[in-house]
Chain A
């Protein structure tokens, strides 16, 4: 198995190099740079050319790229144009918010989606199936920022209640923190659950007619055990695969809900960096996202072997 892991990690290297090139180029073709934005905010500061020189923007593109990648190799992600501090510091500050949000949201998504998906598949075309599907597809169809805004406005009107505005880490003030996180997590979790539920349903439906399921039933195993021990195990493989693809959706959800709920997370850091043309910060953020994406998907592939003993990695 370790050989497989190493091979996958080696395969990830060209992908990550490509990602550095992609984000570098995409950012440079956007009109306006950090110097322009800085001068807009504070026109008296300095001469534009001087500012560009200070930020290193006067160098040629290949030079700028090589400088950045050279830094990466030595573990230096770069220095922010705006804070003048290492971008890794900003990532470390904001990552806990988004990680907590993503973990809570995925827990909610799984807890909602898997049971509904099971009931929907086992009682296919019954009223429960239609109800469950309507609910989850309905949740998937509501734009998350509308749901988020409603979740702030409605309790404020009806109960005169609003979630806490100031962020405090969970290890400092757990109750305050959870009071602030549960609504945004619910918003992201509910919209993610729709896709997961559909996948659970359709992959269970495929497993339903397999011989081993019939065997399990024939030997008199109670229906509940057939579903939980025999069917779910196999049906979960596509669901978990989908989960890997949903990491992107979780981040997108985070970008929007962090903005609405005023959470200082990785998503709002990224959007902020794009607006300010803080190249080093955007580059580092996209690269970090890519690394997480690659690693999570590797873990998912490895989990197949645990779920299905027929799968072996040589």
Chain B
């Protein structure tokens, strides 16, 4: 009920500064969902580290430091050095940039395409819907990793192409979920009312139906973010990831670190923990967001 009261009071209460309002919402989220807020903090940390990489990193991530090869973690090299003597802490720090790009762009592109697909398919109905659904069936029946591998092989291994390859994975699920939301929203009286008033299909979809998809899309986005990072790591494992010397967590986890597993276990420990922590954070954040955003679950 307090939320409803806040909404009702909204327009009449003093116009709070946008920043203060955001801050208040964040604080409320932290109080209600401490576990989810912890996940949010991990994501925030990832963004800060990625933005401030040159300040945080202590060495050039791609140049062998003077300390030597395969050195265990020490005050000079917090996470040790790898098989060619590069500082692993610096590589981890710069690797956050790669992971953030793969997760945000790779996940985001897939979600956006899926969203368009779902909106058109659900609203148009009829033959368009049928054709698009069969197309999605084909995508779902195509083993995702094989498709991603083929795409990277086709386009060539680079950060951009890996992002394109991992983005495909998010399309069919998003399209399915969005379509089902559109189908139920289409039956609502306010949509009929808008249609009677002569609103164009474009306006109806964008102004009246699209807002309904926000909650599920945000949740799907957190899943796609994690999925893209795991997919990048899997591609690296199969030898078609982001090419060296770029410091990608996936490549750091699957390349030479596997060969030196017994000799230098810290080589895999850093990126392994980093990937696990980020995906863990994204998932619990997404769960909490769903609880807060999905009105059906709010009462439960």
Contact = CB atoms under 8 A, between A and B. Distances in A.
Interface string B224-235: 001000100110
B258 interface: yes
Interface centre among A133, A141, A252, A255 (most CB of B within 10 A): A141
Contact of A133 (B149, B233, B287, B300): B287
Most chain A CB within 10 A, of B137, B149, B284, is at B137
B153 A137 contact: no
Contact of A143 (B147, B234, B265): B234
Interface in A290-308: 290, 293-294
Interface string B264-276: 0100100010011
B280 interface: yes
Contacts of A29: 154
- Secondary structure of the A side of the interface? helix
Contact of A206 (B141, B253, B287, B297): B297
Contacts of A248: 140, 143-144
Given A205-B297, A252-B234, A137 B141 contact: no
Given A19-B138, A130-B35, A270 B279 contact: no
A133 B288 CA distance: 12
Contact of B234 (A16, A153, A245, A256): A256
B121 interface: no
A245 B173 contact: yes
B234 A22 contact: no
Given A141-B280, A143-B253, A145-B234, A19 B141 contact: yes
A140 interface: yes
A128 to B, nearest CB: 13
Interface SS of B by simple majority: helix
Nearest to A125: B35
A256 B237 contact: yes
A290 B279 contact: no
A209 B265 CA distance: 49
A141 B279 contact: yes
B280 A15 contact: no
Contacts of A51: none
A192 to B, nearest CB: 13
A89 interface: no
B261 A293 contact: no
A142 B272 contact: yes
Contacts of B284: 133-134, 137
Given A143-B230, A157-B262, A256-B234, A271 B149 contact: yes
24 contacts: A15-B134, A16-B141, A26-B151, A30-B150, A31-B154, A124-B300, A134-B284, A141-B226, A142-B276, A143-B234, A145-B237, A145-B254, A146-B253, A146-B272, A149-B268, A209-B300, A252-B143, A255-B145, A255-B238, A256-B237, A270-B146, A274-B150, A282-B146, A289-B141
The 9 closest A-B pairs by CB, nearest first: A141-B279, A290-B141, A141-B280, A18-B138, A15-B137, A252-B145, A146-B272, A141-B276, A30-B153
Interface of B: 35, 134-135, 137-138, 140-147, 149-151, 153-154, 173, 226, 230, 233-234, 237-238, 250, 253-254, 258, 261-262, 265, 268, 272, 275-280, 283-284, 287, 290, 296-297, 299-300
